[in-house]
């Protein structure tokens, strides 16, 4: 249930963000659901590999290169899903940061269970 709720909230955030930002377009809410599902798959499979190989660069930039990785995955999602487009690299960077922040604020504010209880 929590995963379904997080999926719906993230899709709603993306859809609302596309209405506000001019460089990001989402055709409809179903497309937003597919985009968020693809982001989940990419973050579970591709992101750890990219992060491993760019670890020295990430270390030198004190973690700021992670923003570039997020923007690249955001743009890659626009490449694979029809009905979702990103106009520029800067829009991908802004979209990925805003999606991460709003999702963390809305979904990360819940009470966490302790692992030992």
Considering just the CA atoms, what is the radius of gyration of the chain in Å?
Answer: 15
Predicted structure pTM score:
0.84
DSSP code of residue 1: -
Condensed to tens digits (0 to 9), the pLDDT of residues 6-60 reads 899 999 999 999 999 999 999 999 999 999 999 999 999 999 999 999 999 999 9
Whether residue 77 contacts residue 35, with contact meaning beta carbons closer than 8 Å, is answered with yes
| Domain spans, the chain | 9-102
Helix (H, G, I), strand (E, B) or coil at 45: helix
**pLDDT at residue 3 in the model:** 86
Cα–Cα distances in angstroms (integers) from residue 17 to residues 23, 51, 60, 63, 76, in the given order: 10, 26, 31, 25, 18
Whether residue 71 contacts residue 96, with contact meaning beta carbons closer than 8 Å, is answered with yes
């Amino acid at each position: 249930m929590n995963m379904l709720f997080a999926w719906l909230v993230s899709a709603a955030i993306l859809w609302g963000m596309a209405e506000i930002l001019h460089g990001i377009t989402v055709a409809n809410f179903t497309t937003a659901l597919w985009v968020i599902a693809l982001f989940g798959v990419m973050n579970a499979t591709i992101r750890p590999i990219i992060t491993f190989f760019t670890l020295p660069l990430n270390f030198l930039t004190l973690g700021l290169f992670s923003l570039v990785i997020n923007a690249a995955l955001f743009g890659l999602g626009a490449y694979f899903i029809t009905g979702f487009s990103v106009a520029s690299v800067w829009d991908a960077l802004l979209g990925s940061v805003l999606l991460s922040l709003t999702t963390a604020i809305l979904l990360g504010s819940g009470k966490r269970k302790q692992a030992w209880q």
